[in-house]
Structure formats: structure tokens, C-alpha cells
């Protein structure tokens, strides 16, 4: 056990090669891209809305189609069924996600400069936790919006959950929900980190010692 811990400690203290460092820099740039692009898009179709109502979610705001008017139209429909109004102020995620993205970007650059395998693994673990928690938070938000319906609503509908991925029919609405370009950028960050870890592991693992060939 002691020998295993010593080998692990030695491996974690290995210096990163150039390729993992560059991947960390590219990953930090993709975090900036993910901040600027939509993370999620939700589109609702109904007979009275043949062109659809569109809701776009960024890391810092809600936006709607038709120059933002679709958000007002969705909130009007939500009022009839007792659903809470969609508002940027109600999404606490918009307050902390930009800071977390910025902090992760700085940690990526720090790992690229200091260049230890332990730093690379640290940022990978933190990023995976951030991704898992963000997805859970988004799903819980959707669940809460569809289940905390006002009992005094003029139109009674059973509790529901808007889809996180794909299609779902809700009353007379057909709802489509898909990740936006920003989420794909975040997914690419995870891929870059994993590739960087693989490259670092290949460079840092001990090579078997071959016995010398016998002289003729």
C-alpha cells in the first residue's frame, strides 16, 4: 500500500507536457464562448401559435423569440394555469454561474502555467461537479415550476414537468427542449480536459525496462 501511494504521489507531481497545457488554454477560451452563447432552447407549438413560442436560456439571462415578446406570452399562459412567472430575477443560477465559469477559467490557466498532473486532475473533478450540479439545478427548476401551481388558477391542469431533453406534449402544446451552442461548448470543455488527462497519463506512466539483447 505504501509503495502504491508513493507511486501515485510521484505521478501526480509529474510536469505536464505542452499538449495538455494547450488543451487547458483552449478549454478556458471555450468557457468564454459558453458564456456568450445560449445554453438551452425551449420551443412551444400549439394551434394558436403555429410559429411557436421560443425561450432561450443563457448563463446570465432569459431571452425570448420575437424580440423578447415570447416570454411575455408564455407568462400570460402560465398565469392561467397558476404557474409562477418566468423572470430572470428568480433564477439564482444567473447570479453564480458567470462567476463559476470565470473562476474555472482562471483555474484552467493556473493549471496550464504550474503544469502539474495533480492540478489537471483537480480542475477536472471540479468541472465535473459543476456540470452535474448545474444539470440537477436546471432539472429541479423545471420540476418546481410545473408542480407548484396556484390552486386558485382559472384553468386546472395536473402537475407536470417540462422536458429537459427532447419532446413532450403538455395539454395542447408540443414542447421541444434541447441544449444550445453554449452547452455544446461546455461539453467540449469536458472532452478537452479528459484528453489532457489521457495525454498526461501516457506521458507520465513508467515505461517497462527491456532487458539488453544478448551479444552475437
User: Cell triple for residue 21?
Assistant: 497545457
pLDDT in tens, the chain (216 residues): 676 656 666 657 788 889 999 999 999 999 999 999 999 999 999 988 988 999 999 999 999 888 888 988 988 888 888 888 888 887 888 889 999 999 999 999 999 998 888 899 999 999 999 999 999 999 998 898 888 888 888 888 888 888 899 999 888 889 999 999 999 999 999 999 999 999 988 876 554 445 556 555
Question: φ, ψ for residue 38 (rounded to 5)?
Answer: -65, 140
> What does the pLDDT read at residue 77?
84
pTM: 0.85
CATH number of 18-204: 1.20.140
Identify which of 84, 31, 38, 79 has the alpha carbon closest to the alpha carbon of residue 61.
Answer: 38
Domain residue spans in the chain? 18-204
* Beta-bridge mates of residue 178: 41
User: Cell triple for residue 192?
Assistant: 478537452
> What does the pLDDT read at residue 209?
42
Q: Are 21 and 207 in contact (CB under 8 A)?
A: no
> What does the pLDDT read at residue 203?
79
DSSP assignment of 103-114 equals: HHHHHHHHHHHH
Name the helix (H) or strand (E) containing 138.
Answer: helix 117-147
Amino acid at each position: 500500500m505504501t509503495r502504491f501511494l508513493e507511486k501515485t504521489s510521484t505521478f501526480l507531481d509529474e510536469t505536464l507536457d505542452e499538449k495538455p497545457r494547450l488543451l487547458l488554454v483552449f478549454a478556458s477560451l471555450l468557457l468564454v464562448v459558453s458564456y456568450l452563447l445560449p445554453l438551452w432552447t425551449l420551443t412551444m407549438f400549439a394551434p394558436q401559435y403555429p410559429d411557436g413560442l421560443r425561450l432561450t436560456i443563457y448563463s446570465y439571462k432569459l431571452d425570448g423569440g420575437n424580440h423578447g415578446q415570447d416570454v411575455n406570452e408564455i407568462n400570460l399562459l402560465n398565469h392561467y394555469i397558476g404557474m409562477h412567472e418566468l423572470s430572470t430575477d428568480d433564477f439564482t443560477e444567473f447570479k453564480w454561474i458567470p462567476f463559476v465559469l470565470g473562476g474555472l477559467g482562471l483555474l484552467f490557466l493556473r493549471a496550464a502555467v504550474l503544469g502539474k498532473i495533480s492540478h489537471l486532475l483537480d480542475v477536472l473533478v471540479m468541472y465535473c461537479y459543476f456540470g452535474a450540479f448545474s444539470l440537477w439545478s436546471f432539472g429541479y427548476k423545471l420540476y418546481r415550476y410545473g408542480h407548484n401551481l396556484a390552486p386558485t388558477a382559472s384553468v386546472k391542469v395536473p402537475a407536470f414537468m417540462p422536458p429537459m431533453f427532447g419532446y413532450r406534449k403538455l395539454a395542447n402544446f408540443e414542447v421541444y427542449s434541447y441544449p444550445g451552442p453554449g452547452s455544446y461548448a461546455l461539453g467540449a470543455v469536458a472532452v478537452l480536459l479528459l484528453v489532457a488527462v489521457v495525454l498526461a497519463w501516457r506521458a507520465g506512466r513508467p515505461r517497462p525496462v527491456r532487458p539488453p539483447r544478448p551479444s552475437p
